[in-house]
Chains A and B, each alone.
Chain A
């Protein structure tokens, strides 16, 4: 029983991390209907940039994080404005292909520049264990969970309450109507992609302090993010959180009780199973017609 509680706690912790990792992806899909296959590589860039900023430039954790957010938001904005904007009216496929190309490009450029060695972003909180009842958690992880929760909350508030957030939601419900209402939809799309990139980068740097920042992790992060988003429904905040927690706990239990080497399998099996039964994801709102 003690073991189960530990596994559960581990799963909830990693689940929160998954939720933040997937948030940018689900937002971009929900608001822009773009499936960003480069999401994991934006995460990776955030992590490596965070590592470089702290260990090479000597910045503190939060200053470095601010830098990462800025750089990735700017990059995301530019990518959308000059590339994705040209593909918007061609349907879903060009976006998928373009972001696959972007993913390959980012991953291998990173390999060329930094090499494949794993790095770790120094956390502002030590890695000491903390006892919470029967369960052991490290302070560093608790800190990361707190930052995740804060980021998710901030993003949600931004989308719901700010003018920019409302403009985003308006644009994606009806771009033409939004334009007629005076919203510059090109800027909105660019801002949305920028937000997605910034969230990915934030997750990359934050989790780079727990796990690794490494040029090769983009692919796996993308895959896990897709699993989360499919579990939780594309475009849903709550879905990303639920999906993330579900994946985290499932992996933790599988790793604990079955085998640690094949842990990654459970996510893919879940995706296959769920898409079998619900072709649009677990919590999606789409109705089926004859």
Chain B
């Protein structure tokens, strides 16, 4: 297959009179880690919302493996193995760490509604497999020691790890992370970078990050897409983008 795993074409979205995203186009190829960066308010999260179905685009297309999936509902996109995380901690605060990741395994355990009431031997095996998968994910992100703790009691760094673990529970092919390094210190961000590389190697086919932490972006990305005021400003390898004068200008000489 020659087509990209994810391709967005001329995506556009306005809220009231305000244009949040305009003519956005980029691709994510299989095996890649692509980062979407830009100043605050550039429309990065809106893009993520448009791709994952939480917003309907006003114009443009979203293509998954060449198939048009524009405007499909979020749960449908998740069923297509496109899973995203949310900014500002969105985990199931009142459930334990383990139950969070277990909840994310919904698709693995899906069965017709009427089967809910019948005890079946095959079911027990499914539940066991899910349990093993949960344990595997928890040890991958490094939270197995905290499995019985209520998610609301975790530290900031642990919450970020839980978000990734949760998303992995849904067995994504394309994993989209919204500011996974928010609030992390340098050490934690480096650990996250290593985790993301492992995730790309072992668990998913591609990653799309929305991120502000430049060190993380530069160290982990294969390609970077820069947005400003709703439009694409630049695109290329991390080095190319770092040296792009328009990008530097947009960031007003900050960062990097």
A interface residue numbers (CB < 8 A to B): 289-290
Rounded to whole angstroms, the CA-CA distance of A289 and B16 in the bound complex is 12
* Chain A residues whose CB sits within 8 angstroms of the CB of B55 once the complex forms: 289-290
User: A290 — which chain B residues lie within 8 A by C-beta?
Assistant: 54-56
Q: What distance in Å separates the Cβ of A117 from its nearest Cβ neighbour in chain B?
A: 48
Shortest distance from the beta carbon of A99 to any chain B beta carbon, whole Å: 24
Question: From B73, which residue of chain A is reached at the shortest CB distance?
Answer: A290
Interface membership of chain B positions 44-64, coded 1 if the CB is closer than 8 angstroms to chain A and 0 otherwise: 000000000011100000000
Q: Which residue of A lies closest to B74 (CB)?
A: A290
Q: Which residues of A contact B56 (CB under 8 A)?
A: 290
Compute how far the CA of A290 lies from the CA of B53 in the bound complex, rounded to whole angstroms. 9
Chain B residues near A289 (CB, 8 Å)?
55
CA distance A290 to B56 in the complex (A): 7
**Residues of A with C-beta under 8 A to B54:** 290
Main secondary structure of the interface of A (DSSP, over half): loop
Query: B interface vs A, CB < 8 Å?
Result: 54-56
Minimum CB–CB distance for B237 against chain A, Å: 35
The residue of chain B having its C-beta at the shortest distance from the C-beta of A290 within the complex is B56
Chain A proximity of B43: nearest CB distance (Å):
16
Q: Shortest 4 CB-CB distances between A and B: which pairs?
A: A290-B56, A290-B55, A290-B54, A289-B55
Q: Which residue of B lies closest to A287 (CB)?
A: B16
Please, could you name 4 A-B residue pairs with CB atoms under 8 Å apart, sorted by A?
A: A289-B55, A290-B54, A290-B55, A290-B56
B49 nearest CB neighbor, chain A only: A290
**Residue on A with the closest CB to B56?**
A290
Interchain CA distance A290-B55 in the complex, whole Å: 6
Q: How far is the CB of B112 from chain A (nearest CB, A)?
A: 28
Question: Which residue of chain A has the shortest Cβ distance to B16 in the bound complex?
Answer: A287
A290–B54 Cα distance when bound, in Å, is 7
Report Cα–Cα, A289/B15, bound state, in Å: 10
In the bound complex, what is the Cα–Cα distance between A116 and B55 (angstroms)?
A: 55
Docked complex Cα distance between A289 and B55 (Å): 8
- Measured CB to CB, the nearest residue on chain B to A289 is B55
The answer for the CA separation of A289 and B56 in the assembled complex, in Å, is: 9
Q: Give min CB distance, B163 to chain A, whole Å.
A: 22
How far, in Å, is B109 (CB) from chain A's closest CB? Answer: 28
Docked Cα-Cα span, A289 to B54, in Å, equals: 9
- In whole Å, how far is A272's beta carbon from the nearest beta carbon of chain B? 27
The docked-state distance in angstroms from the alpha carbon of A77 to that of B56 is 46
Which residue of A has the minimal Cβ distance to B55? A290
Q: Which residue of A lies closest to B50 (CB)?
A: A290
The minimal Cβ–Cβ distance linking B245 to chain A, given in whole angstroms, is: 37
Nearest CB in chain A: distance from B187 CB, A: 32
Give Cα A289–Cα B50 distance, bound, in whole angstroms: 13
In the assembled complex, the CB of A89 is this many whole angstroms from the nearest CB of chain B, namely 13
Give Cα A289–Cα B46 distance, bound, in whole angstroms: 13
Assembly CA distance A174 to B56 (angstroms): 30
Bound-state CA distance A20–B56 (Å) is 43
| Complex Cα–Cα for A289 and B74 (A) | 13
